[in-house]
Amino acid sequence: MTKTKEKEAPEAPSAAGEAASTSGSGAAAPGSGSAANAELVARVQAQLAALGTGAGASGSGSTAVVPGGGGGSGSGVRAAIAKQTKTKPKERYAFWETQPVVQFDGAGDAQEDGPIDKPKTVGDVRQEPYPLPDSFEWCEADVCDAAQVREVYELLSLNYVEDDDAMFRFNYSREFLQWALQPPGFRRDWHVGVRVKASRKLVAFISAIPATVVAAGKSLPMVEINFLCVHKKLRSKRLAPVMIKEITRRVNLCDIWQAAYTAGVVLPMPVAVCRYWHRSLNPKKLIEIGFSSLAPRMTMARTIKLYKLPPTPATAGLRPMRPSDSPAVAALLNSYLARFKVAQHFTADEVEHWLSPREMVVDCYVVEAPSSGSASTSGQITDVVSFYTLPSSVLGHPEHKELRAAYMFYTVPGSVPLPQLLQDAMVLAASKGYDVFNALDLMENQAVLKDLKFGVGDGTLQYYLYNWRVRGVPFGAPDVGLILL
């Protein structure tokens, strides 16, 4: 998953923010519009506080055995995170301090990797959903159903992640959400919504999907948490902690105790900090919408020329991945990902789901060794390159409504060097009409992005693990082999 849409200066790195989270105005609740709703919102806030979501003193009872795992130099860790993220961690996290996550204080002291919470069984898990304030109820979103995926789409397209200046907002398509939420082993009860009882309006959402994640050599059944979203008019009322507790409960009921997630915000405690880089494909439009700016002493004509790409990929034999390639791609991908400290591990079925090309959702190309080659390599898949499609709405622009962005996904260089594979992906994306190609500085990307004319973005994306302590965190971006949508 990705969380920032930074502005890019083509030649001069820019600086600034990440996911905006508009604070609750205390105004009308969504789904209605009268002054009486201000009262409703105030009541909701009071009720959520009473439910122990960290709105009061120290939130709900901690289950962590040794929160934070020790008593090391919290200030040193905070300073390091502040430097990397350009965001000072808060002094107190009323909710996150109650959760089994590594805390800033003592983060460096862990003697061994392992769970933070005391071991539990499914029988220990609360059977009933966490209570919501009276006027709200839990629901499951069936994203196969056109009407329900539309509701999730609309909630996210109006309320999900924006850049700091509220110029762009992620606009995940319905087809993308169906893909992202339904990998092998997905569960509908992990697609959790909150509705206003009276109006049935969907006002909040959070999701979990299953994944095997390898952290410092230990392979764990986890979930990946994504699409946490609270309607703008219900912000800052401690609804997010209730949603996180509820999804945790539902996942724990399936005997899964660890999770991975990313966020633009700084929470206790990042396992790694990554940064987005952006490669202009359509620099004129990017400048017009304020995504990039014209570099000093550059004209528009020179900028367009600078970013012009060849019309066709350079790699011979590059072809779209086919579902029948999945076992070979899974083997290649897993052996490549094994070199990173935090990475996903894929079954062939998962590869088929995540990488088989889907129009305007995910593109994946492979290099197949020529049949004229040696008998041992003939027909082998040697390289993989993929990207997914995540447009953003351009907010308040008179002419442009959408920023068409391709995001680098899992890519394995083999017979072809990484820069050439990436350049080919950009050529293909440009020919399909994308405006920008985005990539994180994880895996081996850091070393190649600059030469490919990427500019560094202005926000960071933090990676987190829930209920799993790993020694030596935070890792560097090149230690990360996990890409969340």
Of residues 435, 388, 436, the one with CA closest to residue 409: 388
CA distance 50 to 40: 15
Of the residues 79, 139, 265, 395, which one makes contact with ligand MYA according to CB under 6 A = 265
Q: How far is CA 227 from the centre of its chain?
A: 8
Bridge-based pairing state of the strands 342-345 and 480-481: parallel
Q: How far is the CB of 278 from ligand MYA (least distance, A)?
A: 20
Site for ligand MYA, residues 118 to 137, rule: CB under 6 A:
none
Using the rule CB under 6 A, is 5 a contact of ligand MYA?
A: no
Smallest distance, Å, CB 78 to ligand MYA? 14
Contact range with ligand MYA by CB under 6 A, out of 68-76, 108-116, 145-153, 235-243: 235-243
Our finding on whether 258 is near ligand MYA (CB under 6 A) is yes
Q: Is 225 in the site for ligand MYA (CB under 6 A)?
A: yes
| Terminal C-alpha separation, the chain | 3
The number of C-alpha atoms within 13 Å of 172 and in the hemisphere containing its C-beta is: 27
Judged by CB under 6 A, does residue 102 bind ligand MYA? no
Helices 239-252 and 36-50: crossing angle, nearest 10°?
50
CB of 400 to ligand MYA, least distance (A): 22
Nearer to ligand MYA, 272 or 418 (CB): 272
Neighbours of 236 (CB within 10 A): 15
Residues 457-476 that bind ligand MYA (CB under 6 A): 466-467
From 132, 143, 220, 228, residue interacting with ligand MYA (rule: CB under 6 A): 228
Residue 229 binding ligand MYA, by CB under 6 A: yes
Indicate whether 237 belongs to the interface with ligand MYA (CB under 6 A).
yes
Min CB(90)–ligand MYA separation in Å = 6
Q: Which is nearer to ligand MYA, 180 or 425 (CB)?
A: 180
Rule CB under 6 A: is residue 172 a binding residue for ligand MYA? no
Q: Is 271 in the site for ligand MYA (CB under 6 A)?
A: no
- Residue 243 beta carbon to ligand MYA: minimum distance, rounded to whole angstroms: 7
Q: Which of 29, 181, 259, 403 binds ligand MYA (CB under 6 A)?
A: 259
Report the alpha-carbon distance of residue 111 to residue 469 in Å, rounded. 10
> Smallest distance, Å, CB 131 to ligand MYA?
15
DSSP state of 226: E
Residue of the chain from 29, 230, 364, 421 that contacts ligand MYA (CB under 6 A): 230
Q: Specify whether the CB–CB gap between 304 and 281 falls below 8 A.
A: no
146-159 and 174-181 helices, crossing angle to 10°: 100
Q: How far apart are CA 417 and CA 74, in angstroms?
A: 41
d(CA 386, CA 421): 9
> Is 263 an interacting residue with respect to ligand MYA (CB under 6 A)?
yes
User: Is residue 214 close enough to count as binding ligand MYA by CB under 6 A?
Assistant: no
Q: Using the minimum distance from each CB to ligand MYA, give the nearer residue, 7 or 237.
A: 237
**Rounded alpha-carbon distances, angstroms, from residue 272 to 265, 267, 342, 459:** 13, 12, 9, 14
Which residue number, 251 or 425, has a Cβ lying nearer to ligand MYA? 251
DSSP class per residue in 311-361 = SS-SSTTEEE--GGGHHHHHHHHHHHHTTSSEEEE--HHHHHHHHS-BTTT
By CB under 6 A, is residue 248 in contact with ligand MYA?
Answer: yes
> Nearer Cβ to ligand MYA, position 10 or 268?
268
Alpha-carbon span 337 to 410, nearest angstrom: 9
| Site for ligand MYA, residues 38 to 57, rule: CB under 6 A | 54
Q: Which is nearer to ligand MYA, 38 or 267 (CB)?
A: 267
Catalytic residues: 485
User: In Å, what is the CA distance from 109 to each residue of 34, 112, 404, 426, 472?
Assistant: 53, 9, 44, 43, 9
Q: Does 161 bind ligand MYA (CB under 6 A)?
A: yes
- Closest Cα partner for 139 from 92, 199, 225, 84? 199
Indicate which single residue of 41, 77, 214, 223 sits in contact with ligand MYA (rule: CB under 6 A): 223
Helices (H), 169-265: 174-181, 239-252
Using CB under 6 A as the binding rule, whether residue 454 contacts ligand MYA is answered as: no
Question: Is 383:367 a contact under the CB 8 Å cutoff?
Answer: yes
The least CB distance from residue 238 to ligand MYA, in Å, is: 4
CB of 216 to ligand MYA, least distance (A): 18
Say how far apart CA 117 and CA 98 lie, in whole Å: 11
Min CB(412)–ligand MYA separation in Å: 26
Q: Which is nearer to ligand MYA, 159 or 326 (CB)?
A: 159
Report the distance separating Cα 452 and Cα 419, nearest Å.
7
- Does position 94 bind ligand MYA by CB under 6 A? yes
How many of the chain's residues bind ligand MYA (CB under 6 A)?
Answer: 39
Interface positions with ligand MYA (CB under 6 A): 3, 19, 21, 54, 93-96, 159-161, 223, 225-230, 235-241, 244, 247-248, 251, 256-259, 261, 263, 265, 267, 466-467
